[in-house]
Amino acid sequence: MNRFLSQQLGAYGMPKYIFVAGGVLSGVGKGTVTASLGVLLQAKGFRVTAMKIDPYVNVDAGTMNPTEHGEVFVTDDGDETDLDIGSYERFLGQDLGKINYMTTGRVYLSVIERERNLGYKGKCVEVVPHLPEEVLHRIHACVEARRAEIVLIEIGGTVGEYQNVLFLEAARLLKQQRPDDVITLLVSYLPIPGHIGEMKTKPTQHATRQLQAAGIQPDFIVARGSQALDAVRRKKLAVFCNVQADDVIAAPDVASIYHVPVNFEREHVAERVLEKLGLAPRGKDLRQWRAMVRTSERQYAPVRIAIVGKYFSTGDFVLSDVYLSVIEAVKHAAWARKRTPVLEWVNTEEYEQDNKKLKQLGQCDGVVIPGGFGSRGVEGKIRTIQYLREHGIPFLGICYGMQLACVEFARNVLGLPGAHTTEIVPDTADPIIDVMEEQKARLAKDAYGGTMRLGAYDCRVRAGTHAARAYADTSWVSKRYANGDLRISERHRHRYEFNNAYRERCEAAGMVFSGVNPERDLAEIIELPKQTHPYFVAAQFHPEFKSRPLDPQPLFLGLIKAAEKRGA
Ligand code: GLN
């Protein structure tokens, strides 16, 4: 037994491992299946954690254009991960971190660094077994750090491609070492070709063969498709994929991902998984989750929220994944207020070409301008912000959205027409948003990966502001100051900051600095007072990352409350 395993057994008895692999095509919903199974196992009374393995060579998701791979999710400890980590956090209601995430790049980097440090004591270091061993080492480290009894490990990509073979090999090795503690789910897709009109099992049979060729027999097949699997196909899959018919789980498309645990519960998925792992359920139930799902499905009065961004399309496809956490945060807040969220995606570049389009924003009850980078669409966002400010439309700006709100204010209220962020105009006359000194040095060395201001930082929220009203009486507050200010913590991902040289002038002109980083006096939340605007709030941090369906984020709740009044 390798040393990591024996440490594990010594520490907590028996951790159990559930691998989730994907078949037939990508985007089949492995992340949702993993997160949903996690919710159910937690509801059965187990300490669960979830890991994502991404097969790309990038060390983290931070260096990828979001149109390539969806949103970059940021954890408390400053990791830039794939959006599935965000789903796990939202479903499990847990803060995850670096230890829950790995990529091929990360695995290679550790092995090579260890080799350079003579960590392999003169051995020939080989792709197999040393890379799968590093994968297992990371899995065991995560189990230990999270004190998990059950760990779900999602292997990115699709079985049969080269990229994830080392991870499948790790899964095979672990099963060989601990046959009673490891199971594998294959999440596969069953297409219904239009001209045939029936659900086809053959691609899933092939995917299973490919998994078997990697030495892994799936314990469960999760049959994704536009419809639920029928008895005939269930039997076919059982026979050809070498599983019991009961171990084929139907997972038809659902209106909301939060419904999946409820469907799985109906199919007794958790009980069947626990049985295979030799564990008995410890009671508890899914009551709170079910209540949230019921609310999300009911038709309430609509609240119309526009998300103004630029990463919406590639070719003919709309990519809402780029703003996944923002979209989810709006939904969580709307449901908590018993409203049905109606989301509109607005491409900011449209406003650069056609000023009249801005008026359409007046039909919305509220607008979110999320984070972003670079010059494309920036003037459109600034115009949008001006319109929202002048027309009293509830607005939540996030990161770049906050920075551009400051640019707009400087230009149109302070009367500094050349004001800009130095990200776009490095020698602007009025650098109201500027790069921090330590960031300058990193940029000069082209050190882009993992070097932004990342992860959770504290923020002191000033009493009597929109922000303080939003956070008051929530679990977000970690300290109450004697003067009524509040201490909160939120996650960041940016290089540029509000330039404090402009603070007094902004304050004199009516901008309120309602959130400030206590250590470095950085502006974290700006707003306009409620006498001048119903809700104009913008944060340098990303409030969307910590929003959970059972615990919506306060600034989003504030937006929805203001939007309700407008819609009324
Ligand atoms: N581009 C801006 C910066 O780097 C904002 C980043 C963001 O919105 N995440 O500071």
Please say if the pLDDT value at position 11 is more than 60. no
Partner residues linked to 268 by β-bridges: none
Establish whether domains 2-291 and 298-435+496-567 are of one fold: yes
Q: Tell me if 373 CB under 6 Å of ligand 1.
A: yes
Indicate if the pLDDT at residue 6 is higher than 60.
no
Which pLDDT does position 10 carry in this prediction?
Answer: 40
Please report which confidence band the pLDDT of residue 361 belongs to, taking 50, 70 and 90 as the band edges.
confident
Spacing of C-alpha 425 from chain mean position: 31
Establish whether residue 265 lines the binding site of ligand 1, counting it when its CB lies within 6 angstroms of any ligand atom.
Answer: no
286 Cβ inside 6 Å of ligand 1: no
Q: Does ligand 1 have an atom closer than 6 angstroms to the CB of 522? A: no
Which element (helix H / strand E) includes 493?
strand 486-494
| Ligand 1 neighbour 399 (Cβ under 6 A) | yes
* Smallest CA separation from ligand 1 atom 7, residue: 371
pLDDT value of position 549? 96
So what's the pLDDT on residue 313? 60
CB 28 within 8 A of CB 188: yes
181 lines ligand 1 (CB under 6 A): no
pLDDT 10s digits, 447-490: 888 888 999 999 999 999 999 999 999 999 999 999 999 999 99
What integer is the mean pLDDT of 355-369?
88
Tokens of 456: 């959770």
550: left (phi over 0), alpha (psi -120 to 50) or beta: alpha
Residue 496 alpha carbon, nearest atom of ligand 1:
10
Cβ of 496 below 6 Å from ligand 1: yes
Cα of 55 vs centre of ligand 1, distance in Å, is 26
* Mean pLDDT within 352-363: 79
Does residue 67 register a pLDDT over 90? Answer: no
**Does ligand 1 come within 6 angstroms of the Cβ of 370?**
no
Q: In testing the pocket of ligand 1, which one of 398, 496, 544 has its CB within 8 Å of the most ligand atoms?
A: 496
The whole-number average pLDDT for the span 496-516 is 97
What is the reported pLDDT for 319?
Answer: 63
Residue 398 Cα: closest atom of ligand 1: 8
- In ligand 1, the atom with minimum distance to the C-alpha of 542 is 9
pLDDT at 183 over 50: yes
Which residue is closest in CA terms to ligand 1's atom 1?
A: 373
Residue 210 has pLDDT above 60, yes or no: yes
CB atoms within 10 A of CB 165: 18
Contact 4, 169 (CB under 8 A): no
437 versus 419: which is more confidently predicted?
Answer: 419
Atom of ligand 1 nearest to the CA of 433: 10
Nearest CA to ligand 1 atom 5: 400
Whole-number Å distance, alpha carbon 105 to ligand 1 midpoint, is: 24
Ligand 1 centroid – CA 323 distance (Å) = 14
In this prediction, residues 292-310 reach a mean pLDDT of 92
- Dihedral sign of CA atoms 564, 335, 312, 63 in order: positive
CB of 371 closer than 6 angstroms to any ligand 1 atom: yes
User: What's the gap in Å between 503 CA and the centre of ligand 1?
Assistant: 20
For ligand 1, atom 9: residue with the closest CA? 371
Answer whether 493 contacts ligand 1 (Cβ < 6 A).
yes
Radius of gyration of the chain (CA): 25
Distance 38 CA to ligand 1 centre (A): 32
Q: What is the CATH number of domain 298-435+496-567?
A: 3.40.50.880
Share of the chain above pLDDT 90, in %: 79
140 lines ligand 1 (CB under 6 A): no
Statement: residue 129 has pLDDT above 70: yes
Which of residues 450 and 540 earns the better pLDDT score?
540
Percent of the chain with pLDDT over 70: 95
Q: Is the CB of 494 under 6 A from ligand 1?
A: yes
Distance CA 243, CA 204 (A): 13
Q: Which of 181-185, 329-333, 444-448 bottoms out in mean pLDDT, i.e. has the lowest? A: 444-448
CB-based contacts of 62: which residues, under 8 Å, 6+ apart?
72, 80, 449, 450, 452, 493
Q: Does residue 528 carry a pLDDT above 70?
A: yes
CA of 540 to the centre of ligand 1 (A): 8
- So what's the pLDDT on residue 307? 93
**Secondary structure (3-state) at 82:** coil
pLDDT tier for residue 303 given thresholds of 50, 70 and 90: very high
Helix (H) or strand (E) holding 265: helix 260-266
The number of CA neighbours under 13 Å toward the Cβ of 497 is 21
Q: Is the pLDDT of residue 1 over 80?
A: no
Find out whether the beta carbon of 71 lies less than 6 Å from any atom of ligand 1: no
Which tens digit of pLDDT belongs to each residue from 188-207?
Answer: 999 998 888 888 999 999 99
> How many whole angstroms separate alpha carbon 551 and alpha carbon 546?
9
The residue whose CB lies within 8 Å of the most ligand 1 atoms, and thus the one to mutate among 65, 308, 399, 422, is 399
Look up the CATH superfamily of 2-291: P-loop containing nucleotide triphosphate hydrolases (3.40.50.300)
Ligand 1 centroid to Cα of residue 310, in Å, is 14
Return the best residue to mutate from 403, 425, 434, 492 for the ligand 1 pocket (most ligand atoms within 8 A of CB).
Answer: 403
State both tokens at 235: 């039997």
**Catalytic (active-site) positions:** 399, 542, 544
Q: What angle do helix axes 165-177 and 127-146 make, rounded to 10 degrees?
A: 70
Q: Helices 30-43 and 269-276 sit at what angle, rounded to 10 degrees?
A: 80
Residue 5: per-residue pLDDT: 47
pLDDT band at residue 362 under the 50/70/90 scheme: confident
Residue 353 above 80 pLDDT?
no
Ligand 1 center–CA 403 separation, angstroms: 8
User: Does any ligand 1 atom lie closer than 6 A to the CB of residue 394?
Assistant: no
Ligand 1 center to residue 269 CA distance, Å? 42
42: pLDDT strictly greater than 80: yes
CB-based burial of residue 220 (10 Å sphere; 0-12 exposed, 13-18 middle, 19+ buried)?
A: buried
Asked if residue 101 has its Cβ within 6 Å of ligand 1, the reply is: no
- Residue whose Cα lies nearest atom 6 of ligand 1: it is 494
400 touches ligand 1 (CB under 6 Å): yes
Q: How far is the CA of 400 from the centre of ligand 1 (A)?
A: 5
Q: Where are the domains of the chain?
A: 2-291, 298-435+496-567
- Give me the pLDDT at residue 25, please: 87
Taking the C-alpha atoms of residue 176 and residue 45, their distance in angstroms, rounded to an integer, is 27
Predicted pLDDT at 7 = 46
| pLDDT for the residue numbered 158 | 95
Mean pLDDT taken over the chain: 92
- The 10s digit of each residue's pLDDT in 221-246 is 999 999 889 999 999 999 999 999 99
**Alpha-carbon separation of residue 228 from 117, 263, 352, 446 (angstroms):** 53, 11, 45, 50
Q: Answer yes or no: are the C-beta atoms of 394 and 566 closer than 8 Å.
A: yes
Task: Assess whether pLDDT exceeds 90 at residue 8.
Answer: no
* Tokens linked to 562: 């203001």
Beta bridge partners of 491: 456
Burial of 474 (0-12, 13-18, 19+ CB in 10 A): middle
Take atom 8 of ligand 1 and give the residue whose Cα is closest.
Answer: 371
The Cα-based distances of 289 to 255, 308, 453, 553 in angstroms read 16, 30, 34, 17
Backbone angles phi, psi at 458, to 5 degrees: -75, 155
CA of 211 to the centre of ligand 1 (A): 41
Cα–Cα dist 294/222, whole Å: 24
**Residues 107 and 131: beta-carbon distance below 8 Å:** yes
